[in-house]
């Protein structure tokens, strides 16, 4: 019912998944800081997530984590599983999964990945996903995950169509108030779920990302920002204080910095006052 990737970039782990199945984000992905990422699908068994992560937390290999899930399960041949740990990865496709079904896993310098899918248009889906993952080396985990998912969708994806998608990723100190969540984004029922997921991920990044490409609030830029803020009802002599007030109202507080204005916040301000 699904195609997914579980992956690692340094100390960040995540899963991205899409399917002609609603609420897929409630079933397939599970990620734990410092431990790894798991995707359970086909005739998914949700308990695989906890079993696999517990094995990884004990220091066991990803392939052993897969065995811990599948060996005692009489229905294992109807299931699929991807597991990525700190130093190992594995993918499993049961012999009775609906065609086309299969997966691939590997490791690069930044970490491991496991890609798998079932009821796909063909093996080209998994092949396109692996190419997209490897070709995006150097980008952030969330950017790589969504690029990989979109590549699989563009290659044919789920042969039944589109409905649900999700992306869940963690990294130490990331997210709101440093909670560790890079992204927890779901599309539960949408005719173009993968692209809607990509749109929501951009919003997530704007709200929860860290400041980047910061420019000092001096000279012409300070004058521009002050004028735009005044049009939004946030005028005042101190442009930094006015920016802080507007940013809090617009939910951009995570991107605030005493060093100036974040590039994405500036773009949002310009768009709102265009």
In tens, the pLDDT along 173-191 reads 999 888 999 999 999 999 9
% of the chain surpassing 70 pLDDT: 100
Residues 127, 123, 170: CA angle, nearest 5 degrees: 50
CA distance 38 to 65: 10
Q: Give the distance from CA 218 to its chain's centroid.
A: 36
Residues 149 and 128: beta-carbon distance below 8 Å: no
Q: Is 96 helix (H, G, I), strand (E, B) or coil?
A: coil
Question: Which residues sit opposite 2 in a β-bridge?
Answer: 19
Token duo for residue 161: 């169509």
The residues of the chain that CATH labels 3.60.20.10 are: 2-208
Residue 117 has pLDDT above 80, yes or no: yes
pLDDT digits (tens, 9 = 90+) for 140-156: 999 999 999 999 999 99
Angle formed at CA 192 by CA 99 and CA 161, multiple of 5 degrees:
20
Once rounded to an integer, what is the mean pLDDT over residues 58-84? 98
Q: Which residues contact 248 (CB under 8 A, 6 or more apart)?
A: none
CA–CA distance, 44 with 37 (Å, rounded to integer): 15
**Tens digits of residue pLDDT in 222-269:** 999 999 999 999 988 899 999 999 999 999 999 999 999 999 999 999
Residue 1: per-residue pLDDT: 62
Average pLDDT score over the chain: 96
Whether the model clears a pTM of 0.75, i.e. scores above it, the answer is yes
pLDDT of residue 121: 97
DSSP 8-state class, residue 261: B
Q: If DSSP codes are grouped into helix, strand and coil, which group holds residue 56?
A: helix
Q: What Å distances lie between residue 22 and 28, 117, 118, 196, 220, CA to CA?
A: 11, 16, 16, 14, 49
What CATH number was assigned to the domain covering residues 2-208? 3.60.20.10
Strand pairing partners for 186?
A: 166
Token pair of 116 as six digits: 């798998």
């Amino acid at each position: 019912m699904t195609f997914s990737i579980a992956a690692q970039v340094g100390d960040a782990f995540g899963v991205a998944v899409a399917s002609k199945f609603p609420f897929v984000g409630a079933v397939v992905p599970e990620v734990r800081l410092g431990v790894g990422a798991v995707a359970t699908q086909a005739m998914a068994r949700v308990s695989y997530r906890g079993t696999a992560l517990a094995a990884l937390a004990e220091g066991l290999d990803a392939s052993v984590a897969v065995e811990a899930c599948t060996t005692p399960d009489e229905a294992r041949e109807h299931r699929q599983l991807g597991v990525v740990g700190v130093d190992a990865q594995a993918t499993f496709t049961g012999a009775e999964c609906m065609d086309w079904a299969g997966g691939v896993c590997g490791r690069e310098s930044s970490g491991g990945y496991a890609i798998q899918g079932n009821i796909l248009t063909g093996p080209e889906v998994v092949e396109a996903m692996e190419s997209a993952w490897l070709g995006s080396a150097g980008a952030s985990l969330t950017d790589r995950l969504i690029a990989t998912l979109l590549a699989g969708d563009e290659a044919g994806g789920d042969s039944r169509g589109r409905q649900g998608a999700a992306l869940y990723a963690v990294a130490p100190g990331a997210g709101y108030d440093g909670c560790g969540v890079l992204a927890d984004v779901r599309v539960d029922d949408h005719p173009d779920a993968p692209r809607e997921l990509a749109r929501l991920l951009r919003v997530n990044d704007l709200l929860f990302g860290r400041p980047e490409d910061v420019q000092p609030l001096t000279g012409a830029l300070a004058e521009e920002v002050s004028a735009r803020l005044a049009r939004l009802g946030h005028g005042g002599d101190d442009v930094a204080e006015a920016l802080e007030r507007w940013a809090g109202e617009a939910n951009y507080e995570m991107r605030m910095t005493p060093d100036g204005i974040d590039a994405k916040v500036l773009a949002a301000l310009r768009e709102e006052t265009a």
